[in-house]
Amino acid sequence: MNRRSFGLSWGRKIFFGISWPLSTLIALLYLKSFVLPQTATDWVYYVTTLIGHYGIANALVYFLLYCPIVLLMPTYYVSRFWSLILILVLNSFILLDAIAFSSYQLHIYSFLSKLVMSEGIQNLVGPNGTMLGVIGLIVLAVVIWIRGEKVWRYMQTRFSNPVKNWYLVLIVLCLVIGKAIYHYGSIDPRLSSLFPLDFNPKRETETKVVDTRTLHYPSSKLNCTGKSNPNIVMIVIKEWSQDQLNSELMPNVFHMKRHGVSFNAHYGVSTDANGGIFSLYYSIPSSYQTTAKDINPAIMTEFDRRQYEIVDLGNDASATSTPAEHDEKTVQAFKDWADNRSSEVIQSYSLNLTFVQHPGEVDKHIQTVVLELQKEGLLKDTYIVMTGGYPGASNLMMPLLVFTPERKADEVDHATSHYDVIPTLMDTALGCKKVYHSVGLGTSLYDEGRDWLLVSGQDSFKILDLKNSVLTTVSGGDISDVSLKGGEAQPRRELIFKALKINNKYTKPN
């Protein structure tokens, strides 16, 4: 056997005998993203694609990169070193991509690559990851070299070294089966995202994506030892910006403002109203909405434990009714409840009211609600919270008014957000001392120190850098920065890594 044939034959044994199994094993790390096969068909698709995808990756590297160099320079050291470099680079890419996907559900060749290059690889692999990675590469290089040496010596003891092509047939067969199952079956499209640089033909009927993640919320057991059970009223206007709270547009609420705590730098944390209301009650990003169908907000769970009467009105907006009709029905349902509830009832209550009209129209409804509560004697020992779901596309801040049972007036000028509202209520009103560690991202409304906020959505998110006054929008593979003070934006790119981790922090596999 001549040197060229010998080098090619040896390379095939190394690439398909060592690198292919290694790539397949490393690829199992993608499952840490909790994107998992759910059905037997999903598993067949996953296994066949796993075998075929990483087989074809090694085949392409072998035929397109290894073979040309060895054919030009068929020497011992060229074959050995070139194969070692290619195998280490290929599997290092798969490893880094698996780490990126399992942490952020994004591939390394997305916009993450720019962030990693500008901010450092430690944001991806952790503070000790670089050193451990280098050690791992050295160990792997030694193992591959020793194994390659054994194969090289073994091949030299034989007159011919035929290499059968069964594995190439297996690779092609697995690829074809996987693509056919994806095209004709009901495979969750997210499964295909487990394979880097994998492309599938468009299906005739797209399978509806079902979020199979389980929300891990609250993150730890609550410790609510408070003995008092005050009434809590939440009044939410679906869309309400800070500049709409004035004496001309909302005279009644503006007058009430003098009897409560006004938070003058309160930020919305979602890119839409429904998401904002979700984040208000759950204190987590709205990207978790699809995982929380059967899980109540932590405060509602505590209300149930304390046997509160829970009244939720206005959150079922019907497409057949106008905003005015919706709000009128909400107020009427509230009046019916208040009229039928005697002030002598000992049971505490939680009242949630959601309005969808323009804030100027809702102003009179809020006055009606407060006067009715007062008339029926339902304001004693009662917290009232008024806020919005979404400040609007051109605004960042919305009103937040908190009326404590003492009705003390105050103004808070430091930054607060929807993440903080419920944890603060659970702390001050219900005596839940571990709530800030257990329920979402919130801190106390009365504490300063926030330097950034995550404004979340289903397909994009924004980062509000309060320290540098920069709004960063991440949508798909695009990153844009706007300075809120004018001039050139100076974004902190490490905040994107933190935001991506938060968007996967509260889920676990089924």
- Contact present, 391 and 397 (Cβ < 8 Å): yes
Percent of the chain with pLDDT over 90: 48
- Contact present, 4 and 71 (Cβ < 8 Å): yes
CATH number at residue 355: 3.40.720.10
Tell me if the bond preceding 251 is cis, omega within 30° of 0: no
- Statement to judge: residues 343 and 235 lie in one domain: yes
Q: Give the residue carrying structure tokens 């106390």.
A: 444
The two tokens of residue 327 are: 């709000």
- Statement to judge: residues 407 and 363 lie in one domain: yes
- Flag whether 132 is in a domain: yes
- Statement to judge: residues 159 and 249 lie in one domain: no
- Flag whether 127 is in a domain: yes
Range ranked top by mean pLDDT from 16-30, 161-175, 435-449:
16-30
pLDDT tens column, 102-132 = 888 788 887 777 777 666 676 666 666 667 7
Q: Residue 484 gets which letter from DSSP?
A: T
CA distance 496 to 116: 11
Q: pLDDT: is 118 or 454 the higher one? A: 454
**What's the Cα-to-Cα distance from 444 to each of 165, 265, 304, 439, rounded to whole Å?**
65, 14, 23, 12
- Statement to judge: residues 302 and 158 lie in one domain: no
pLDDT tens column, 348-389 = 999 999 999 999 999 999 999 999 999 888 898 999 999 999
- Flag whether 501 is in a domain: no
The model's pTM = 0.79
Lowest mean pLDDT among 91-100, 199-208, 354-363: 199-208
Q: Report, in this order, helix, strand and coil percent for the chain, each rounded to 5.
A: 50, 15, 35
- Flag whether 502 is in a domain: no
The two tokens of residue 444 are: 């106390």
> Which of 446, 467, 488 is the last residue in one of the domains?
446
- Statement to judge: residues 155 and 94 lie in one domain: yes
> Which of 192, 209, 235 is the last residue in one of the domains?
192
Nearest CA to 111 out of 481, 410, 408 is that of 481
pLDDT reported for residue 218? 84
- Flag whether 281 is in a domain: yes
- Statement to judge: residues 258 and 157 lie in one domain: no
Q: Residue 320 gets which letter from DSSP?
A: T
The two tokens of residue 263 are: 């938070």
- Flag whether 442 is in a domain: yes
- Statement to judge: residues 316 and 369 lie in one domain: yes
Nearest CA to 326 out of 237, 232, 234 is that of 237
pLDDT reported for residue 117? 67
- Statement to judge: residues 430 and 284 lie in one domain: yes
Residue 187, Cβ density class (10 Å: 0-12 exposed, 13-18 middle, ≥19 buried)? buried
Nearest CA to 392 out of 288, 257, 242 is that of 242
pLDDT tens column, 288-318 = 888 887 889 999 999 999 999 999 998 876 6
Determine the structural domain holding residue 41 and report its residue range: 3-192
Angle at 384 between CA 382 and CA 385, to 5 degrees: 150
- Flag whether 455 is in a domain: no
pLDDT above 90 for 425: yes
Considering its fold, how many domains does the chain have in total? Answer: 2
- Statement to judge: residues 271 and 315 lie in one domain: yes
- Statement to judge: residues 91 and 132 lie in one domain: yes
Average pLDDT, the chain: 87
Which residues are within 8 A (CB) of 393 and not within 5 positions of it... i.e. 6 or more apart? none
- Statement to judge: residues 150 and 255 lie in one domain: no
- Flag whether 453 is in a domain: no
pLDDT tens column, 214-271 = 778 887 788 888 888 999 999 999 999 999 999 999 999 999 999 999 999 999 999 9
pLDDT reported for residue 6? 82
- Statement to judge: residues 104 and 27 lie in one domain: yes
pLDDT above 70 for 193: yes
Q: Look up residue 496 and give its amino acid.
A: I
pLDDT reported for residue 234? 97
